[in-house]
Each structure stands twice: as structure tokens, then as C-alpha cells.
Amino acid sequence: MTTNERTLTKRDFTSDREVRWCPGCGDYAILATVQSLLAEVGAVPEKTVFISGIGCSSRFPYYMDTYGFHSIHGRAPTLATGLAITRPDLDIWIVTGDGDGLSIGGNHLMHTLRRNVNVNILLFNNEIYGLTKGQYSPTSPLGSTHKSTPMGSLDRPINPVSLALGVEATFVGRSIDTDRKHLTEVLKGAYEHRGSSFVEIYQNCNIFNDGAFAALKDPDKKDLNQIRLQAGEPITFGPDGERAVVAESDGSMSIVPTEEAGDRVVVHDPARDEPTTAFALSRLALNPTGPTPIGIFRDVDRPVYDDQLRAQVDAAKQQRGEGELTALLDSGNVWDVL
């Protein structure tokens, strides 16, 4: 997290490139929110780097007036890790999608999160492959019929938040492209968190998968389905908080009418070190078609990989003194020929 003495506006984070997403794409809203957020929190443009993979969302860096790297499919976390290790002074953001981050790049996502590299990962989940024109993705619901699955998809979808919690990511959040206020709040938390931050953003692809998140976005449905997580608050939702999330004896969670919940209502605590409760919360909705938690699931402090790696380098210098090349070569068994 860098801080800025200058007063900047959204324009200072907006590049001169024409944005080329499809009209109506959810990416526009996310871009605008991120640009405003960086100005608001006082981020420094030259200290900010956006790294992406391949896919619609991965064009993101071109539209930011910061440093940026549009890399190859699935590999953004790998570049980000090399940069984070060598450049502690930078704010590094990874922009990825459900195909880029969970399919071809799933391995890197998992390892980056478990190491707790100091990066912010934004996963734009539209439950579809957009750039390749409409094949099902790792988050598409089971049985999705798309170009490559005319008789329905056969593989069970990944719940990105469950995945991140499963590898003990230290910051895990979820928000919605067009809910500017909520998205800003979650991204702010990610920005302020040291270590890996993972934010799943439900993003509408109006061309190939329009309305995938209608349950959480339509004015007549969202109040029924958005479970807004607030630290320290009992988890209730719906008009007048009429429904509540309760813990079951087997460790899972379920939804009951608040009046029946009694003291079983779960009080949200993202700082809980043990990820099991947050994981159980994430299992309330396998796909966002009904009541679905959004907000910050987890936010804990743990040692950061790149900090520790640099600390080892510093400790080696302390213990052995700065390396001296002549001494290195002239070590072990040497002999003189006269």
C-alpha cells in the first residue's frame, strides 16, 4: 500500500486508450470503480502496477494510467510474484477472470494465495468464456448449454471464494460489478490488506451470458438474495432482516427465518484465524442464483511471503556480511601454481 501526497482524481488513473469492451459489459463499471478508488485512497500512479493474463478482463491494464503488464493466459500471478519479491515499494494488482484464473491459471492462483504474496487479485467472474466467444467456464453452473456444451456441461463448477478459503487466503471478498458502493468498500479492504487479497467480482457478460447474476442484481430480487456480510454483525438478510444464517451442529450453515434462529445466528468475524467458518459461509451458495453472501469473508494477518524472502536475504547479509566475489571464488580447496 503506497500513499500519495498529491491530490489525484479518477482522471489521473485513466489512460488515453479507448476502452474496447462490448457496450454494456460489466467491466466498464469495475474499471470506473477501481480508478476512483485509487484516487480516493491516495494511491501513487507510478507505484501502481496492474498485471493481467488473457481474456476480456485482462485488457484492464491498458486502460489504467499506471504501470501495467498484459501477460499470457493464466500466468499473471507468476509475473506478479517475481515483481513483488523484487519490488516491495509497489502496489501490485492482478486482474483475471474465471477462465484465466481458475482454469488455465488455477495452479498459480492457488500457490500465490497459499504463499500470501503481497498482491491484490481481482477475479472478474462472468461464468463464461467471452473472448473466445461463449464456451462454458469453470464457474458455469452444471448443465450449462453453450457452444461447446450443446447437451449441457458435465463438470461441477468451482466456487472461487471456497477455493481461496481452502488454500487459506488471508483476504477473501466478493462483490458485484455495478454495486459501486459495495465494490469500493471491498476493494478498499483488499488494498489496505498486506499479503494476498482475493476479490471475486460478479461481472455480467451481456453478450454471451446476460443475466447470470440477476438474482443478486435485479431490483426485485436483490434484497431477497444478497447476504451482506458485516464484521461484528449477526448475519441476517432479506426485507427487514427476516432471514438469518445459522450454524448447524455438523459445521455447515443454513438459512432459517430469523425468528426461529435464536442465538444460533452467526455473528460475522472476518478476522477469525481459522478459515472453516468463512468456508462454511461460502458454501451457502454454490452458484449465485439464490441467497448469496457478499462482502469480506476473511481478513487476517499472516506473514507475507515476499517480506520473509527479503528478510532471509537481509539476515544472510547480517550474519555473513555483504558477499564478496573474490572471497567466494577463492573458497574451498584452492591451490597455487607458481
Partner 1 sequence: MSDTSTAQRERIQLSNAVVRFAGDSGDGMQLTGDRFTTQTALAGNDLATLPDFPAEIRAPAGTLAGVSSFQLHFSDQDIHTPGDAPDVLVAMNPAALHKHLSALKPGGIVIVNTDAFTERNLQKAGYEESPLEDNTLTDYQLHEVPITELTLRALEGHIERGELNKKEAERCKNMLALGLVSWMYHRPIDETEGWLEDKFAAKPAIADANVTALRAGWNYGDTTEAFAFTYEVKAAKLAPGRYRNITGNQAMAYGLVAASVRSALPLFYGSYPITPASDILHELAKLKHFGVATYQAEDEIAAMGSVIGAAFGGSLAVTASSGPGIALKTEAMGLATITELPMLVIDVQRGGPSTGLPTKTEQSDLFQVLYGRNGEAPIPVLAAASPADCFHISLEAARIALTYRTPVVVLSDGYLANSAEPWMLPDIDELPDLTTAFSFTTEPNRADGSFVPFLRDEDTLARPWALPGTPGLEHRLGGIEKEEETGHISYDPANHHAMTEMRYARLERIGAQLPPLEVEDPDGDAEVLVIGWGSTLGPIQAACHQLRQRGRKVARVHLRHLAPLHPDLEEVLGRYRTVVCPENNMGQLAMLLRARTLVDVKSYDRVTGQPFAATELAAVIERYGWGEQA
Q: Is 80 in the site for partner 1 (CB under 8 A)?
A: yes
Residue 220, C-beta contacts closer than 8 angstroms, at least 6 positions apart: none
Contact 216, 288 (CB under 8 A): yes
Q: Is 11 in the site for partner 1 (CB under 8 A)?
A: no
Residue 61 DSSP SS3: helix
**Least Å distance between CB 50 and partner 1?**
8
Q: Is 5 in the site for partner 1 (CB under 8 A)?
A: no
Q: Is 47 in the site for partner 1 (CB under 8 A)?
A: yes
Whose Cβ is closer to partner 1: residue 62's or residue 178's?
62
Contact 161, 282 (CB under 8 A): yes
Whose Cβ is closer to partner 1: residue 219's or residue 321's?
321
Q: Is 46 in the site for partner 1 (CB under 8 A)?
A: yes
Rounded to whole angstroms, the Cα distance separating 91 from 150 reads 43
Q: Residue 330 to residues 317, 323, 324, 335, 336: CA-CA distances in angstroms?
A: 19, 13, 10, 10, 11
Whose Cβ is closer to partner 1: residue 151's or residue 334's?
334
Tell me the HSE value of 56 on the side-chain side, using a 13 A CA sphere: 28
User: Segment 254-293, which members bind partner 1 (CB under 8 A)?
Assistant: none
Size of the site for partner 1 (CB under 8 A): 62
* Contact pattern for partner 1 over residues 57 through 76, marking x by CB under 8 A: ----xx-xxxxxxxxx--x-
Q: Is 319 in the site for partner 1 (CB under 8 A)?
A: yes
Rounded to whole angstroms, the Cα distance separating 282 from 297 reads 8
Write out the three cell numbers for 288: 449465485
User: Segment 96-135, which members bind partner 1 (CB under 8 A)?
Assistant: 107-108, 110-111
Tell me the HSE value of 144 on the side-chain side, using a 13 A CA sphere: 22
Contacting positions for partner 1 (CB under 8 A): 15, 17, 45-47, 49, 51, 54, 61-62, 64-72, 75, 77-87, 89-90, 107-108, 110-111, 309-310, 312-313, 315-317, 319-323, 325-326, 328-338
